[in-house]
Amino acid sequence: MTEQERILQLRAELHQHNHNYYVLNTPTISDQEFDALLRELQELEDRHPELADPNSPTQRVGSDLSQEFETFVHVRPMLSLSNTYNIGEVAEFYQRVREGLAGEDFEICCELKFDGLSISLHYEDGRLVRAVTRGDGVQGDDVTANVRTIRTIPLQLRPLSESPNGGENWPRSFEIRGEILMPWSSFEALNREREAREEPLFANPRNAASGTLKSKQASVVAERKLDAYLYYLLGDELPADGHYENLQAARSWGFQISDAMRKVRTLEEIEAFINYWDTARKDLPVATDGIVLKVNSMRQQRALGMTAKSPRWAIAYKFQAEQQSTILREVTFQVGRTGAVTPVANMDPVQLSGTVVRRATLHNADFMDSLDLHVGDHVLVEKGGEIIPKIVAVDEAFITPERGPKVEFIRHCPECGAELVRYEGEAAWYCPNETGCPPQLKGRIEHFVSRRAMNIDTLGPETIEDFFARGLIRDYADLYTLTVDQLSGYNDTRIRSARKTIQAIEASRQVPFERVLFALGIRFVGETVAKTLARRFRSIDALAHATLDDLLQVNTIGAAIAESVIRWFADADNAFLVERLRAQGLQLQLSDAAIAEQSDRLAGKTIVISGVFAHHSRDEYKALIEQHGGKNTGSISAKTSFILAGDNMGPAKLEKAQKLGVPIVSEDEFLQMIE
């Protein structure tokens, strides 16, 4: 595999992992594995600047934005921290701080890294006025109504005369950041309730907290008893120069601040703190996944400054995953939406990182074979990033000559019996029976109705399973022939929900062409690719008749995507599916308004976006650039036409732009340019 192919492969994998983590709340790899893949991609992109892509995972922070809430631009961007998994890199961080401060004495504040959902709380005159999620770091979701239900977050700060600890008065206006958490006790109770209702279980407290905070009903948030720990105070009139001292002041104002904080001066003290909490954290009532180290002095923090993505004055040390030994009883096989077959280990129950584990993914045939698994083996299981259980090795201490049968990967689909195939360059085995394999059929329908596709939000996996079992649907075109009577089954109690579902299906007929194209589920055609193809070909018919050369002429469309599109439209069943959707009135071409809005005003221009904007979001500006023929990129080079700059443009980008002589265009100038 060439380095160019590896870059494309890594981007696709990391985009999927970001989607799994932030949107679906069902991550499939650990933080450490994700960071390793991201680091590999960054190194490859550094070697190949000609392959720069503004949509690369290295150019963005995974987002938890939701369309259900209004967004709010952060007054100060919420940057992520650099991660490390070993003491050696902590020592390197410590040395960089010493050098950055030119030998000046400094203190490090050691804190627990809570595993929840980052939140920014804004207070005016002692009252909570806004609560915003981290989002993409530049803007987040306004979840104030839901946060007001969390009892450990003060809505009104008490006068200092009532504070048991005394302390400095709170500033008139300030921001305090922290983590929204679901305690282990609440998490386990919630999963017991979901299990009783035969609903999917949350994988871990972080996912449960995230899903809860994004609930449309504040009453649901209140019932689930979320908690919050605050860890960073920001504002123009803070009580002290010390970060630790500011948090102690915040404690006196009524905020819940962790007791597990310590100021230290030496690397030995940092290591002692890490070693202590690596064990002691298992007795905490909430999930933690590491330690955060911060330079204590705010003045020194400002002197050290930021990189484009993270502060130089802080670092996160991630704990190594806990391991336990248990017995492998059998391996079963699951078929996904794309037909990929995944082996799953079924084991004796074992307590791991606060939850009981019975199953663990084995990823693919190569991974499974590398472990040399036999039924009855004692295996070592860990939770990567405290989330997804996985087998890391056979426990050799228990291997005997009388081992059970070796676990072999299957050769036929466990659902439909079709012979499995393996495509060149792919690690997974696939069931090729796309039109007759039930999990694939149901999975494609689930993708079709998803929020970013057709947004038929009344149809979840359980409802689709029910409709499928009742013979009401076999593919997504069948959705448009459903009736209220079919869905309600003449049960008066279900008529209201049935009508709501039919209304949502009817509304989806107006979904624009680029989202319909994404909803079709063509392999490798994600949201961004679907938009690109829709703008280039403008209709489903033009795309269906495009040649390989036609597709390869489109910017960012490579051979794998082009061949996949051609294969999909060459299939007679898919062609018939398109005709059925056409007959139902779906949007299979760009609207006249969308075509009229396109222009070539930015044709041939490569543009970098930086800063915070007043009139549109960054994503909206990216869409406008593409709409007018321009190309987005995340890094500045001599080929950059100009930088679209908002407030708080990154200092590193500004310096590089000045060095290369790249023009800087303001928000208003840009809007005049395209209008």
- Which residues are designated catalytic? 113
CA distance 530 to 543: 11
Residues 6+ apart with CB under 8 A from 368: 331, 343, 362, 407, 409
For residues 115 and 210, give the distance between their C-alpha atoms in angstroms, rounded to a whole number: 11
241/427 Cα distance (integer angstroms): 53
Residue 332 structure tokens: 């079963």
Sheet holding 642-645, edge to edge: 631-633, 606-610, 642-645, 664-666
Question: What is the layout of strands, in order, in the sheet containing 314-318?
Answer: 83-84, 314-318, 288-295, 108-114, 262-264
The CA distances from residue 371 to 230, 252, 363, 396, 403, in Å, are 42, 53, 12, 11, 14
DSSP secondary structure string, 600-631? -TTTT-EEEEESB-SSS-HHHHHHHHHHTT-E
Pair 638, 667: CB distance under 8 Å: no
Strands in 43-198 per DSSP E: 71-73, 83-84, 108-114, 117-124, 127-133, 139-141, 173-181
Consecutive H or E run containing 356: strand 355-361
| Residue 67 to residues 63, 177, 366, Cα–Cα distance (Å) | 12, 23, 39
CB 59, CB 292: distance < 8 Å: no
Question: What token pair was written down for 10?
Answer: 């890594």
SS3 of residue 461 by DSSP: helix
Extract the tokens encoding 170: 């709170």
CB 133 within 8 Å of CB 64: yes
Would you state the structure tokens that stand for residue 153, as one six-digit string?
Answer: 């977050």
Give the rounded distance of the alpha carbon of 238 from its chain centre.
33
515-547 in b/e burial notation, b at 16+ Cβ within 10 A? bbbbbbbbbbbbbbbbbbbbbbbbebeebbebe
Q: What is the DSSP letter of 364?
A: S
Looking up tokens 């008749």, which residue turns up? 545
CA–CA gap between residue 326 and residue 31 (Å, rounded): 24
- Amino acid identity of residue 650, one-letter, is G
Phi, psi torsion values for 578, nearest 5 degrees: -60, -40
* Bridge partner residues of 128 (DSSP): 123
Q: Which of 121, 139, 120 is nearest to 65 (CA)?
A: 139
CA distance 392 to 381: 6
- The CB-side HSE value for 205 (13 A sphere, CA atoms) comes to 28
Tell me which H or E stretch contains 291.
strand 288-295
Q: How far apart are CA 534 and CA 448, in angstroms?
A: 17
Q: Which two tokens stand for residue 644?
A: 């679209």
| Residue 627 one-letter amino acid | Q
